[in-house]
Amino acid sequence: MSRRRQVYEGKAKILFEGPEPGTLIQYFKDDATAFNNQKKGVITGKGVLNNRISEYFMLRLHEINIPTHFMRRLNMREQLIREVEIIPLEVVIRNVAAGSIATRFGIEEGTQLTRSIVEFYYKDDKLGDPLVTEEHITAFGWATYQEIDEILNLSLRINDFLSGLLVSVGLKLVDFKLEFGRLWEDEEFRIVLADETSPDNCRLWDTKTGERYDKDRFRRDLGKVEEGYQEVARRLGILPESGPRDLRGTDTLQ
Ligand code: UDP
């Protein structure tokens, strides 16, 4: 790991130069942060699980022709991805009121929204990722109206697809965050899904009991944090074969 050139280190992932031009290796850490970095911790095995879960979702999304940066999983903690120009927006899709929208509008957590809501936040930790409108996005040159349209279309398709997939394993997709990038091919580019899709950036509640299996277990000190992530993988049928104990295993195991 140390001999490769590191391109970027984020809160939960590290990016390394990939084997070919235009590729990167995305390494999943066990580090967890919340509340804009004010709360920090380690969730043992989280990186292994998120690598698997995100791979699973990206592959399923490819089956319905959603373009993503994902190429293939390399090992327990790494996947090969295409290098994209990240659009500096966090796109949040909500089906049920929870977290910041519940606080902002004084809505009880768990209230079903009459339709799915898509929100944009400007990706800047120093500013605390402020909520922005299409006016801000286009005026400040972060994306064009055409790109916003494409992002909205893709986000709603992804929401419908993942909501259905998750409900079939007894999980409600309450809300989640996506990031998109521009994938350049010659002189042209297309908008593709980037980053990861995992319990780190989704709210997933049991459809019957309302039990939470996502990062809120860490944010809100609900306990059994690792178990929450494992439960999502278990329901999706993708827990590493030798079971949870394997999650501490070496980084290069296939
Ligand atoms: N989210 C995320 N990264 C962020 C902020 C939010 O992945 O920096 C996800 C979060 O996990 C949840 C959804 O986006 O699934 C909506 O989060 P919300 O705005 O309610 O913020 P929070 O309550 O998590 O601060």
Helix pair angle (145-167, 46-63), 10° resolution: 110
203 Cα: distance to centroid of ligand 1 (angstroms): 8
d(CA 5, CA 251): 17
Radius of gyration of the chain (CA): 18
C-alpha to C-alpha distances, 230 to 147, 157, 239, nearest whole angstrom: 35, 26, 7
Residue 3: the pLDDT is 74
* Mean pLDDT calculated for residue range 185-208: 97
Mutate to test the pocket of ligand 1, among 33, 111, 163, 175 (most ligand atoms within 8 A of CB): 175
Q: Give the pLDDT confidence of 56-107 residue by residue, as tens digits.
A: 999 999 999 999 999 999 999 999 999 999 999 999 999 999 999 999 999 9
244 Cα: distance to centroid of ligand 1 (angstroms): 26
Place 241 in a pLDDT band, splitting at 50, 70 and 90. Answer: low
Q: Give the pLDDT confidence of 134-164 residue by residue, as tens digits.
A: 999 999 999 999 999 999 999 999 999 999 9
Decide which of 112 and 253 is more confident: 112
In this prediction the pTM is: 0.94
